[in-house]
Homo-oligomer: A and B are copies of this chain.
Amino acid sequence: MPQTPHVEQHFTAGETVRDIVIGMSDGLTVPFALAAGLSGAVSSTAIIVTAGLAEIAAGSIAMGLGGYLAARSDAEHYASERRREQLEVKEKTAAEEEEVREIFASYGLTDEQSKPIVEALSKRPDAWVDFMMRFELGLEEPDPRRALRSALTIALSYIAGGLIPLSPYLLVPVARTALLISVIVTLLALLIFGYVKGHFTGTMPIRSGLQTALIGGLAAAAAFIIARLIA
Contacts and interface: CB of A to CB of B under 8 A. Distances in A.
Interface size class of A (residues with CB under 8 A): 35 or more
A185 interface: no
| Among A21, A77, A106, A107: residue with most chain B CB under 10 A | A107
Each complex incorporates copies of this chain amounting to 2
A202 B61 contact: no
B62 A230 contact: no
Interface of A: 1-11, 18, 21-22, 25-26, 29-30, 32-34, 37-38, 40-42, 46-47, 49-51, 53-55, 57-59, 61-63, 65-67, 69-70, 73-74, 76-77, 80-81, 99, 102-104, 106-110, 112-117, 119-121, 123-124, 127-128, 130-131, 134-140, 142, 200-203, 211, 214-216, 218-220, 222-227, 230-231
5 contacts: A37-B55, A54-B226, A107-B131, A108-B124, A114-B117
